[in-house]
Structure formats: structure tokens, C-alpha cells
Amino acid sequence: MLPASIFSEEDVVLLAQYFLGKLLVTYLDGVLTSGRIVETEAYRGPEDQASHAYANKKTQRTRVMFEEGGKAYVYLCYGIHHLFNVVTGKAGVPHAVLVRAVEPVENVEVMLKRRRMEILTPRLTAGPGVLSQALGIQVAFSGVDMRKMHSHVWLEDRGEEVGVADILSSARVGVEYAKEHASLPWRFRIKDCRWTSPAP
DNA sequence: CGAATGATCGGCT
DNA sequence: GCCGATCATTCGA
């Protein structure tokens, strides 16, 4: 697990880059699957028009974003896809990092089965919706505290350092409605990594 | 209570 | 590349 204090960091744009190279792990029905995070996006709470918590909008769904950092925020997109975020910052500050792609690490066969795929390609886990399917992440996980043991989902540091020179930033996707905030370079990926979505 | 709307994906052209 | 799927959430009447 990552040290609990990490999640309280207030600079979510920095944290989105820090999470690159960390491991996203799930443990369901006695089966552990994991992936190395290779692509993320930062959503900067109340002032970010692309965030669900823009202008401190509190609803049943976004409630967990206002809790202390370290919670999982999972929601349904387009009625189909379960999108996984890490809530960050102090209580009351609704920052979040969306995990957009991982490199499959442990129990690839299980992930293939969950995705109903035969051969291993980046399509298995490149994309926020498909990575959740591969790791078995569902909206029911929303609110899980990843700072505590015995969660079904958590983050791990396996000692990999991702330097600034290895990180490529670009504009976030699917947020055209966010006006001037739509072009902010808050999407981060590991450079020359085949497990991310296609480079912009 | 009804209607619009996505932080997307995959299949088809 | 484009287009339709599909449904919880949200908002307005």
C-alpha cells in the first residue's frame, strides 16, 4: 500500500504524475489482479469545470470526492463503463485522479477472461472503462478507503521511479464542455509506453 | 416524473 | 474514422 499521507497532498496535478509507475491492485473472490499505472488525468476540484465537483457541486454521486484523500471514486459513464478515480487532498477539497490506462502485471489470464479476450494486446487495459473491467472494478467500490488493509482495491509502490523526462502531458479528452479548462495539459502518460492509449 | 446527458468502447465502413 | 449502445445521475417541471 502507499503511505496514507500521500493522498493528502494538495497538488493533484503533481499527484497524477506521481501515480505513474505505481501498481493498481484488486483482490476479488480470492483472486488478485494488478496493473502498472501508465496514464492518468488530474481533476482539480471546485475550480475545474471538467470535474464532477466543479463549483463544489455536492450530489449523492460526488459525495465521496469531498472526503479525505485515499478513497476510491468510481462512477458509471455512458451507462456502460465503470471509471476509477483516486480521491486526493484534504477533506472538503474534491480533487481526483482518473486512471486511464495500466500495463497488465499479475494474473493476466483472469483479466483476459473478464474482458472476454483471447490474446493479450494493449486493448486489454488501455482506456479507463476497459481497465476497470479487466481488474473487476465496479461502481460498488466507490467510497472504499484505499489507505486501509482488507480493501478490495488499493495502490502499491514497487519501487519504480518515473522521472519527469519520461512523462508526456497533453490535454484531457472528452471534456469539451469544460470551456477554457478543456485545454489544460493535465493528462499524463509514460512516454513511449505501448500500454497507454494512442499518443495525441 | 420525464428527459437529457455523459471524464467511453467496439464494431462497422 | 464514425456512430450507436445503454443507464445512473441529475435537473427542471
pLDDT in tens, A78-116: 999 999 999 999 999 999 999 999 999 999 999 999 999
| Strand B positions closer than 7 A to protein CB | 6-10
The whole-number average pLDDT for the span A7-35 is: 97
Distance A16 CA to B3 C1' (A): 36
d(CA A138, CA A92): 24
Given a cut of 90, whether residue A12 has pLDDT beyond it is yes
Nucleotide whose C1' lies closest to the alpha carbon of residue A62: C9
Distance A2 CA to B12 C1' (A): 43
Q: How confident is the model at residue A46, as a pLDDT?
A: 94
> How crowded is residue A195: how many other Cβ atoms within 10 Å of its Cβ?
21
The protein side of the strand C contact, defined by CB less than 7 Å from any of its atoms, consists of A 52, 57, 59-62, 75-76, 78-80, 139
Of A2-11, A122-131, A146-155, where does mean pLDDT reach its minimum?
A146-155
pTM assigned to the model: 0.96
Q: For residue A188, what are the contacts with CB-CB under 8 A and spacing of at least 6?
A: A16, A17, A20, A39, A40, A41, A42, A167, A168, A169
Q: How confident is the model at residue A200, as a pLDDT?
A: 84
Distance A170 CA to C2 C1' (A): 23
Given a cut of 90, whether residue A176 has pLDDT beyond it is no
The per-residue pLDDT of chain A, averaged, comes to 95
Distance A154 CA to B1 C1' (A): 40
Asked if A153 and A141 count as a contact pair (C-beta separation under 8 A), the reply is yes
The protein side of the strand B contact, defined by CB less than 7 Å from any of its atoms, consists of A 41, 43, 50-53, 65, 73, 76-81, 83, 85, 96, 98, 115, 123, 127-131, 133, 172-175, 177, 197
Q: For residue A134, what are the contacts with CB-CB under 8 A and spacing of at least 6?
A: A33, A35, A104, A111, A112, A114, A115, A124, A125
- Tell me which amino acid residue A153 is: V
Given a cut of 90, whether residue A70 has pLDDT beyond it is yes
